[in-house]
């Protein structure tokens, strides 16, 4: 008699439901779950149960998903793959660093996936982290900004830069030393040099400046003033800045000659000959004549040696940007044949050519005679705070 409701339920679902309702006991409910009940499931219920098995079974079978997770999978985008495959190993870091602003920031997922990377990919990732954590001024340029070199061992140096003779000193030095670097444009015509984040690096509100993520003792360091940067990079790499004291004195003498003489006087000649709103004959003659005197000193120095300090050095790098603009300073190199020979030799160096060719897109559209630009460049006074 106890099995009669079960047989009835199998034949008549309505009578089974009413019987279960009358008894309302746990035992009856359990007995109601007969094999025939599975046949009463609707197609919609079966469809709802299928997706549950798919996302659970497939990802679990992949080892990478356990370590990386969803965030790491999303970080592995196709554009990054194309960038690394098209370029050589050394220039791949160039693309990676220049796109740092657009790439997702490293998180726990990407850190977990790091062991699977090659040593060069890990170094490039370290460079991106260093570049993103350092202060920035202006917008990143679209032109190539990281030089081929020892990118696998040296995170890129940040170069705060504008294409001027002083800016070229550092781009040339970085090229000569084959150090990887990323450019942070400082638009000196719109006031980028007065931004707090740049003043934290260069309190004199002048570019160039650098941030080396692997400075002394492996810790980040910032350096401003072009001469100081040249000496720092020379010590760091052991290139173009001799360690022997007598030779170093000779290099420093001519470096300071440029810093205190050729650079400032040529800059004044540029201003009064080309940018001043009114032509002042006295000022034009004063700085044109002083440049002529300095070219004479340089010509005599180079009469019996190939470079200013005998061997090619940071002293020559400091001078090339200004000397290459001799026409703007009212000079004729026919009067200075040894300077012309030196200038031709310098311009023939591939690293010098690359350093001088480093452009910033927005600088091409700037008119240095624009009153707004001149008020920023030439109307500066002490600022409070």
pLDDT in tens, 131-169: 444 444 334 344 445 544 544 578 999 999 999 999 999
Least confident interval from 212-221, 224-233, 361-370:
361-370
Yes or no: say if 76 and 121 are a contact pair by the CB < 8 Å rule. no
pLDDT: which is higher, 107 or 200? 200
Residues of the chain with CATH 3.40.30.10: 124-239+367-378
Locate the DSSP E strands across 117-272: 157-161, 181-185, 209-212, 221-224
Q: Starting from the edge strand earliest in sequence, which strands make up the sheet with 157-161, in order?
A: 181-185, 157-161, 209-212, 221-224
Rounded Cα distance, 134 and 294, in Å: 39
Provide the CATH number for the domain formed by 124-239+367-378 in this structure: 3.40.30.10
Q: What is the pLDDT of residue 385?
A: 63
User: How much is the average pLDDT of 215-244?
Assistant: 98
Tell me the two tokens of residue 382.
Answer: 């002490």
Res. 27 pLDDT band, cuts 50 70 90: very low
Provide the CATH number for the domain formed by 247-347 in this structure: 1.20.1050.10
pLDDT: which is higher, 42 or 205? 205
> For the chain, what is the radius of gyration of the CA atoms?
35
Yes or no: say if 151 and 352 are a contact pair by the CB < 8 Å rule. no
- 3-state SS, residue 182: strand
Rounded Cα distance, 368 and 362, in Å: 13
For the chain, what percentages of helix, strand and coil (3-state, to nearest 5) are there?
65, 5, 30
Residue 70 scores a pLDDT above 50: no
Residues of the chain with CATH 1.20.1050.10: 247-347
What is the DSSP track for 280-321? -HHHHHHHHHHHHHHHHHHHHHTTSSSBTBBB--HHHHHHHH
Tell me the two tokens of residue 100.
Answer: 């740092």
């Amino acid at each position: 008699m106890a099995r009669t409701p079960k047989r009835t339920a199998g034949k008549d679902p309505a009578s089974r439901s009413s019987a279960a309702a009358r008894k309302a006991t746990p035992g009856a409910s359990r007995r109601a779950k007969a094999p025939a009940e599975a046949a009463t499931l609707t197609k919609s219920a079966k469809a709802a149960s299928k997706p549950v098995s798919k996302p659970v079974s497939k990802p679990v079978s992949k080892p990478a998903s356990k370590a990386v997770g969803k965030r790491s999978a999303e970080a592995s985008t196709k554009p990054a793959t194309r960038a690394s495959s098209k370029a050589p190993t050394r220039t791949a870091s160039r693309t990676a660093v220049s796109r740092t602003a657009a790439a997702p920031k490293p998180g726990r997922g990407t850190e977990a996936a790091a062991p699977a990377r090659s040593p060069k990919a890990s170094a490039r990732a370290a460079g991106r982290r260093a570049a993103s954590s350092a202060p920035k001024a202006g917008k990143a340029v679209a032109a190539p900004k990281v030089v081929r070199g020892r990118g696998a061992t040296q995170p890129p140096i940040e170069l705060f830069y504008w294409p001027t003779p002083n800016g070229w000193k550092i781009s040339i030095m970085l090229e000569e030393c084959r150090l990887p670097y990323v450019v942070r444009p400082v638009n000196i015509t719109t006031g980028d040099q007065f931004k707090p984040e740049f003043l934290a690096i260069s309190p004199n509100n002048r570019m160039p400046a650098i941030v080396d993520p692997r400075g002394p003792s492996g810790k980040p360091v910032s350096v401003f003033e072009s001469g100081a940067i040249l000496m720092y990079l020379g010590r760091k790499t052991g290139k173009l800045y001799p360690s022997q004291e007598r030779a170093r004195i000779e290099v420093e003498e001519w470096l300071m000659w440029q810093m205190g003489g050729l650079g400032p006087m040529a800059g004044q000649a540029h201003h009064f000959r080309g940018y001043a709103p009114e032509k002042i004959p006295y000022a034009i003659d004063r700085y044109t004549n002083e440049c002529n005197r300095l070219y004479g000193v340089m010509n005599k120095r180079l009469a019996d040696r190939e470079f200013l300090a005998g061997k090619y050095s940071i002293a020559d790098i400091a001078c090339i940007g200004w000397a290459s603009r001799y026409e703007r300073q009212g000079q004729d190199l026919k009067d200075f044949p040894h300077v012309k020979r030196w200038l031709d030799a310098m311009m023939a160096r591939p690293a010098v050519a690359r350093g001088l060719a480093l452009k910033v897109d927005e600088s091409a559209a700037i008119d240095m005679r624009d009153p707004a630009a001149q008020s920023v460049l030439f109307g500066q006074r002490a600022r409070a705070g």
